[in-house]
């Protein structure tokens, strides 16, 4: 039996980290705790309700208690402006330890087993996404692009996640923000951010027996060598335009009958598709005598009736490729889209409002709030994995919006002593049978 990770346990973990946030105020105006500012912002993201704190402040004034305190541990409720002012000077790295602690607990509890491939690997997807853009609002941590006389300011971030084929959930890991770096004249980029993430967290997650997935941007020798140095493997998209030497070698070997190939017919319900796999080992990733040797594979999918090629992609990896292993490697490589569909898309369209400007600030506010939003998403994922009551309600209510609509309505008008009380109330009023054992 796995250990149950309840919201109270997750919140305690978060609160412990927030207690260590540095006090940056120099005056005596310290009515509100910095931890309460962070917990307040987190509660808004977790409840997916911009009005949650205002409703709880109203409940406190009328009834003498509130759900912000009972569910999230706030001692006092700061205003939105106070939250922004208190959090702006704080680097998001202060709360990154929560991601690692959650991942370690999932590993310890056995929940990560469901995220292992049939070969026993954990797949970690690295991908960059933009979460803020403006032609007027900007800060020192903004990146920018120019279009003639016009400048667009934006924020971007690498959002690593653990994913596995056949599972709609992803587990969010520590982000790496794409921000101007001290001592660097050039703008920061995804590739540099990925290297920093590996340097910072490579040792921790390599112990999970992990393989890194990424797009063609990451498929270059310095990054691949760093991945191997950190004891990871990799399956990276490998395109012809950016790897001419590799594809020249593949073409030469194919002309000499040394590229393995086989096809399979796959029925899709209304028509069949022909999956054709090609693969070869020990080809150079780039030109030069010191080129890293990689293994290469390609999948093309052809509509059997029309003959049209509907999909083609190729990957470079350090995993051995044989007729026995190539299908699993391709399946893992194709999992990379999950970081967009199951992570970034959910954050942008399913209530987390990933691209909304909750507050930009002049220092770190945008990145700090984004980190709290990622933690809210992570906590919901963990509850869906380990909390039987939460899973029961999500299954019964089916639609994500209905679940959050109910949370918002109930906590606006009723007081709950704990998250358990709230879950039990919903289960009873939906006339559901409580889980036999949710411990």
CA distance 22 to 42: 18
DSSP letters, 133-154, are EESS---TT-EEEEETTEEEEE
User: Tens digit of pLDDT per residue, the chain (439 long)?
Assistant: 345 678 889 999 999 999 999 998 887 667 889 999 999 999 999 999 999 999 999 999 999 999 999 999 999 999 999 999 999 999 999 999 999 999 999 999 899 999 999 889 999 999 888 887 788 888 888 888 888 788 888 888 999 999 998 888 899 999 999 987 755 556 778 999 999 999 999 999 999 999 999 999 999 999 999 999 999 999 999 999 999 999 999 999 999 999 999 999 999 888 999 999 999 999 999 999 999 999 999 999 999 999 999 999 999 999 999 999 999 999 999 988 765 555 556 666 555 555 556 778 889 998 999 999 999 999 999 999 999 999 999 999 988 899 999 999 999 999 999 999 999 999 999 999 998 754 4
Contact between 328 and 119 under an 8 Å Cβ cutoff? The reply is yes
Residue-level pLDDT at 149:
81
Q: Which helix (H) or strand (E) holds 60?
A: helix 52-63
- CA torsion, ordered 248, 254, 260, 263, to nearest 10 deg: 100
Residue-level pLDDT at 36:
96
**Residues pairing with 101 in the sheet:** none
Dihedrals phi, psi of 108, to nearest 5 degrees: -65, -40
In the block, which residue shows the tokens 């890991």? Answer: 173
> The dihedral of CA 174, 8, 369, 351: what is its sign?
positive
Residue in 373, 433, 301 with CA at minimum distance from that of residue 131:
373
Residue 260 exposed, middle or buried by CB count within 10 Å (0-12, 13-18, 19+): middle
Residue-level pLDDT at 131:
80
Residue-level pLDDT at 135:
85
Residue-level pLDDT at 219:
97
Burial 87-104 (b: 16+ CB within 10 A, else e): bbbbbbebbbebbeebbe
């Amino acid at each position: 039996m796995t250990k149950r990770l309840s919201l109270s346990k997750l919140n305690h973990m978060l609160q412990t980290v927030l207690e260590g946030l540095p006090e940056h105020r120099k005056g005596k105006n310290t009515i509100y705790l910095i931890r309460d500012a962070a917990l307040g912002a987190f509660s808004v993201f977790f409840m997916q309700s911009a009005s949650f704190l205002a409703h709880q402040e109203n409940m406190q004034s009328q009834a003498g208690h509130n759900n912000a305190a009972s569910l999230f541990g706030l001692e006092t409720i700061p205003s939105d402006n106070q939250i922004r002012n208190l959090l702006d000077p704080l680097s998001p790295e202060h709360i990154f330890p929560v991601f690692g602690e959650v991942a370690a607990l999932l590993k310890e509890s056995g929940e990560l087993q469901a995220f292992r491939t049939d070969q026993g690997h954990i797949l970690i997807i690295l991908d960059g996404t933009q979460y803020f853009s403006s032609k007027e609002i900007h800060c020192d941590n903004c990146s920018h692009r120019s279009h003639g006389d016009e400048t667009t300011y934006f924020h971007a971030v690498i959002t690593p996640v653990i994913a596995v084929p056949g599972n709609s959930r992803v587990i969010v890991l520590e982000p790496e923000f794409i921000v101007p770096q001290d001592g660097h004249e050039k703008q920061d980029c995804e590739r540099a951010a990925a290297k920093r993430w590996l340097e910072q967290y490579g040792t921790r997650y390599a112990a999970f027996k992990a393989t890194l997935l990424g797009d063609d941007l990451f498929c270059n020798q310095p990054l691949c060598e760093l991945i191997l140095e950190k004891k990871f493997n990799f399956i990276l998209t490998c395109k012809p335009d950016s790897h001419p030497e590799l594809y020249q070698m593949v073409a030469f070997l194919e002309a000499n009958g040394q590229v393995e190939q086989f096809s399979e017919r796959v029925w899709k319900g209304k028509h069949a598709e022909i999956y054709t796999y090609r693969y070869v080992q020990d080809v150079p990733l780039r030109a030069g005598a010191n080129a890293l040797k990689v293994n290469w594979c390609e999948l093309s999918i052809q509509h059997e009736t029309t003959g049209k090629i509907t999909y083609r992609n190729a990957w470079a990896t350090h995993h051995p490729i044989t007729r026995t292993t190539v299908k699993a490697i391709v399946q893992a490589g194709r999992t990379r889209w999950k970081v967009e569909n199951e992570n970034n898309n959910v954050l942008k369209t399913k209530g987390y409002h990933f691209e909304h400007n909750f507050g930009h600030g002049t220092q770190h506010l945008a990145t700090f709030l984004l980190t709290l939003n990622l933690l809210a998403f992570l906590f919901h994922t963990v509850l869906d994995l380990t909390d039987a009551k939460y899973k029961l309600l999500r299954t019964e209510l089916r639609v994500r919006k209905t679940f959050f609509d109910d949370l918002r309505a109930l906590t606006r008008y009723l007081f709950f002593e704990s998250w358990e009380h709230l879950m039990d109330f919903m289960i009873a009023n939906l006339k559901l049978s409580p889980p036999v054992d949710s411990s």
